[in-house]
C-alpha cells in the first residue's frame, strides 16, 4: 500500500483560513459506511443522524497558546512554537520547541517575547530545540497565556498583527475543552455548541470524554513511500472509568459508539480488548490506523476533511473504505466544501 494511493487534487482556495461565522454553521457530508452513499447536510442536522441510546465520545483536551513571537538582541524576529514540557533548568521551565529562523539562533541567545519574558535556546536536537523560559515573576503558564497565540497548523496563515488571531483564541478551542496540554485542536469538535449538545442530550444521546493531548505529529507529513513503513508520533491520553462504563452500557443496549475525531478513535482503539471493551486509565498511543485495521470499539465517526496523503485521511479510509472516502472527498471538492481544521465536517455512519 503506497502513500500516493491516498492522494486527491485539492485547490488551495478550498482550505479554510478562518472558521464559519457560527461554530455549528459548517456543512456536514454524511457518508454511509456500508453503501458509500453521500448526503449533503448542515452540522445542525447532526442530531437527526444520531439515535436514542448512541454514545458520543469527545476529546476534552485544551489547546495552549504556545506560539510565541520573539526578537533577538539584533532585532531579528524568531517565531517559537513550544511543543511539550521537558523538565526544568535550575527551576526555570524547559520545553521542546520549534524555532523559525533557527539557522541564526545559538545556545544561550536571549530571545525577548514580552516584558519580563524571554526564551533561551539550550541545545538543538535534530529539528527540535530545548529551550528555557525565563520569567521575571509570576507563573510561567500565565506568562504563556498572556503572550502566546494559538498554534494554528501551517496551512492556516496568520501574519503578526492579524486581527483574526483574537478570534482564534476562542474558535481554535472546543467549547468543552478543560484539560490543558494540546498543541493542536481536535478539530472535529470545533463545530459543537452548548446548545447542540443540549439537543443531543434531550434526544437520549449520551456523551463521554477522553483526553488525548494532540501533538505536532498530527500534521507531520509522511516521509515514506510505503504506508506500513510510517511510524506515528506518540501522544499521551487518559480514558476515565466513567467513559469505559458508558461504552459498556452502550454496547449492552445496542447503541453506537460514535467517536468525535480521529484522536478519539485512536484513543479508544488503542485501549480496546478483542470484545470491544475499553480499558480505562492513562496511556500513550502511537497507533497507526490504515486500511486493513479492524475497529473494535468505534461504530461511527464525526471528522473533518483531511489533508491528502495524511494519516488522518488513512484512518477514515480504514473505517469506510478507501474508494468510497476518496470519491466522497472529490465530490466535496466539486461541491465547494471547506477543508481542514476550520473547514466543514463529515459524519461516517453505520446504521
Domain spans, the chain: 3-63+171-349, 67-148
Pairing of strands 281-285, 179-182: unpaired
Task: Tell me which residues of the chain have a pLDDT lower than 50.
Answer: none
- Which helix (H) or strand (E) element contains residue 326? helix 322-334
Region 67-148: CATH code: 2.40.10.240
Q: Check for a shared fold between 3-63+171-349 and 67-148.
A: no
CA nearest neighbour of 23 among 168, 198, 260, 192 = 192
**Cα distances (Å, whole numbers) of residue 271 to 171, 186, 217, 244:** 30, 19, 20, 10
Pick the CATH number of 3-63+171-349 from 3.40.1780.10, 3.50.50.60, 3.50.40.10, 3.90.1010.10: 3.40.1780.10
* pLDDT score of 216: 67
Q: What is the sign of the dihedral through the CA atoms of 171, 315, 54 and 39?
A: positive
* pLDDT score of 60: 98
Q: What is the pTM of this model?
A: 0.91
* pLDDT score of 265: 98
- The strand pairing partners of 131, in sequence order, are 95, 121
Residue labelled with grid coordinates 482556495: 13
* pLDDT score of 102: 59
Q: How far apart are CA 290 and CA 201, in angstroms?
A: 32
Q: Are 205 and 56 in contact (CB under 8 A)?
A: yes
Amino acid at each position: 500500500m503506497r502513500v500516493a494511493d491516498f492522494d486527491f487534487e485539492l485547490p488551495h482556495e478550498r482550505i479554510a483560513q478562518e472558521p464559519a461565522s457560527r461554530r455549528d454553521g459548517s456543512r456536514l457530508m454524511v457518508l454511509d459506511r456500508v453503501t458509500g452513499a453521500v448526503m449533503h447536510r448542515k452540522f445542525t442536522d447532526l442530531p437527526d443522524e444520531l439515535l436514542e441510546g448512541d454514545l458520543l465520545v469527545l476529546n476534552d483536551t485544551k489547546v495552549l497558546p504556545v506560539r510565541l513571537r520573539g526578537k533577538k538582541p539584533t532585532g531579528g524576529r524568531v517565531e517559537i512554537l513550544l511543543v511539550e514540557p521537558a523538565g526544568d533548568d535550575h527551576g526555570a521551565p524547559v520545553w521542546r520547541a520549534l524555532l523559525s529562523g533557527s539557522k541564526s539562533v545559538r545556545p544561550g541567545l536571549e530571545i525577548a517575547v514580552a516584558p519580563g519574558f524571554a526564551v533561551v535556546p539550550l541545545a538543538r536536537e535534530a529539528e527540535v530545540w530545548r529551550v528555557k523560559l525565563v520569567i521575571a515573576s509570576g507563573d510561567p503558564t500565565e506568562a504563556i497565556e498572556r503572550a502566546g497565540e494559538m498554534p494554528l497548523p501551517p496551512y492556516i496563515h496568520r501574519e503578526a498583527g492579524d486581527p483574526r488571531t483574537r478570534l482564534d483564541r476562542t474558535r481554535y478551542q472546543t467549547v468543552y475543552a478543560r484539560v490543558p496540554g494540546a498543541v493542536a485542536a481536535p478539530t472535529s469538535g470545533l463545530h459543537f455548541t452548548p446548545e447542540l449538545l443540549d439537543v443531543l442530550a434531550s434526544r437520549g444521546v449520551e456523551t463521554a470524554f477522553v483526553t488525548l493531548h494532540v501533538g505536532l505529529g498530527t500534521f507531520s507529513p509522511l516521509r515514506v513511500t510505503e504506508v506500513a513503513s510510517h511510524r506515528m508520533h506518540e501522544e499521551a491520553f487518559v480514558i476515565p472509568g466513567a467513559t469505559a462504563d458508558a461504552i459498556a452500557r452502550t454496547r449492552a443496549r445496542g447503541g453506537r459508539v460514535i467517536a468525535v475525531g480521529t484522536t478519539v478513535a485512536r484513543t479508544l482503539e488503542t485501549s480496546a480488548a478483542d470484545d470491544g471493551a475499553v480499558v480505562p486509565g492513562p496511556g500513550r498511543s502511537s497507533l497507526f490506523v490504515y486500511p486493513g485495521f479492524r475497529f473494535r470499539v468505534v461504530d461511527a465517526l464525526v471528522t473533518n476533511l483531511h489533508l491528502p496523503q495524511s494519516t488522518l485521511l488513512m484512518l477514515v479510509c480504514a473505517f469506510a473504505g478507501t474508494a468510497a472516502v476518496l470519491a466522497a472527498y472529490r465530490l466535496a471538492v466539486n461541491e465547494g466544501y471547506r477543508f481542514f481544521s476550520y473547514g466543514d465536517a463529515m459524519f461516517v455512519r453505520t446504521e
